[in-house]
Structure 1
Amino acid sequence: MTSANVRPCTLRPALKIAGATLASVAGIAGTALGLYAWNNITFAKRDRQTVTAAGFTEQTHSLPSGTIINYAEGPRNGPAVLLIHAQSSAWESYSPVLPKLARDFHVYAIDVVGHGSSDRTPGRYDIHAIGADVVAFMAEVIDEPVILSGHSSGGLIAAWVAADAPERVSAVLFEDPPFFSTEVNRMPQQFNFVDLARPAHEFLAQDAEGDFVSWYIEHNAWIQYFGGGKDHVVKFARNYRRKHPNRPLNFWFLPPSLNKTVGYMHEFDPRFADAFFTFEWQADFDQQKTLEAIQAPSILIHANWNISGEGILEGAMTDDDAARVCAALSNSRLERVDTGHGFHDADPQLFVDLMNELRTNRPR
């Protein structure tokens, strides 16, 4: 038999095997992509279902000022805890920790005014008015001393509350709050200023774009990290918001950690962020004196930070800021964590462990 006669018999099976292998690889890749997209699209719904299964209900309360506060409340399984979320977020951002906290605490998580389903209160977006609303909520709804935790700007609010109403606060967990970096002389070099405050101010000064979410995606500080993919992200966001104006923005191609940064933006009042740009939010807020007035035991969580080439503080506090906070607090300790700003999302178990430590009122 000649080689010419043999060749067709040896090549055909190889081609079939190669074709089958490519088809299998393509199928596996398609399945993996589908699961990746499914996880990115459904994580918020699944988190909500887990929180509901843990016994949380969503409610509203009207304060004497007429302001309506939206909040979630868990079962009565221990001392009261009040969670105050970060700017442009909502109570649902605590979903990763709520089920475990509910086992040993009576948890309340509020939507700060201008966020979520709480009232918009332009003209009252300053820490004194917001802090007074939180104190009134504690008096009328919780009516017992609480372990207070505030994330980011929520930590500033928690400090105001702990100093102003010490009888209502048994302990405080400060989650990476921007102490001192949000003072007037430093705020323009803070990441929040260039990422959210300035875009909000510029949005309110124009009338060509009516959707703040779309505007924010194009003008925030982190969009640059997408490099050549920036235009695709912006275009996707605009198209999604036109089709779903009442739904949270969700990028099927981005993981939950990134989707969570914009997941509550559709219910956020940009005038809240603008108050940081104009310095109305922190007007007459003496952070040093406020911290010195806090008597409740506390833990200060300090996450990763960096100074960019442009001199922007990418994070909440420098090490010097954190040391200054601990020096001002009379009964506190520092917990340095190797996470980004969203600590309770990155390490929910440690967050719960720290809350349980505060339950004894003895920071280690």
Structure 2
Amino acid sequence: MKALVLAGGTGSRLRPITLSAAKQLIPVANKPVLFYALESLVAAGVTDIGMIVGDTADEIRAAVGDGGDFGARVTYIHQERPLGLAHAVLVARPWLGEEDFVMYLGDNFLFGRLDGHLERFRADRPAAGLLLTRVDNPGAFGVARVDPGGRVLRLEEKPRRPESDLALVGVYLFTPEIHEAARAIRPAGSGELEITDAIQWLIDRGRRVDSTVISGYWKDTGTLDDLLEVNRSVLEGVRPRVEGEVDDDSEIVGRVRIDPGARVVRSRVVGPVVIGPGSTISDSYVGPFTSIAEGCRLEDAEIEFSIVLAGAGIRGVGRVEKSLIGKEARVERAENPPKAHRLLLGDHSRVRIAP
């Protein structure tokens, strides 16, 4: 079985961060979201991976390389424009050949192993296998209606009147039958070739499409709130480890990982928190569910429930929360202070705010 990982797309909901960075490489717990997908596939025994890339291809290639660091072999497949998931399947058709494959959206995060799902698919070999999860707002997703045995009867993409609360998770299992379906469908109103339309084409022609409702955690990290929530969930499992320096005037509470070369001086850090290599935290408070990447500097600052990217600096600022601070960004004290701050800053940006 091969894997097709989608790492194109514009990440419009995370702008301005994604104006200068691939959304799949935004880190949670200081590791790019895309890396979790690759590790999950390799752990399930799928090591031949085709990666759909677009405008951020160079950045993705630089981060992933040939896949050897993950125990995989990665082939890059260029998609000129993000014209839908079914279009990505068409673009990858020459590489996929006649093999079964798992399609994994590179900006999705799924807790739990894939092994069992892949084994059932190989044993039963339906035309397609879907992972579903129950959501509170099904109208924001592709939604499935299934029979009591899990066979999928109908799919709709972001329906106005959802027929169920079962949303499609961004992991799909396909036999080569999906290629015929992808060629047969026409663009949706969005102008894209929707994978839900291709799967529905199979259903309408009597092909079997099975599903499994997962109980584990899944998130599409396409928005700031979802990204912070995934960061929170991953940090829940962080193992405390101090490999950097912590002075006697600092307090470390709970699950905190301090990487080599990082320094904590006259500060209080309350986990779960990760602090990347070479970062310095001085005269500051770092609260729960915060990940600080490499080479950052916090001075006389307070932050919690946030993600700080490489090389960023925060100085003389009161409580920052629910924020994503871009690479090399600067957050500094200003006059006429507001009482709270919530930030989404692009790479190399500079902002002056109140303490």
Q: Please give the TM-score of this superposition, normalised by the length of structure 2.
A: 0.27
Higher relative contact order (CA 8 A, sep 6+): 1
Higher-Rg structure is 1
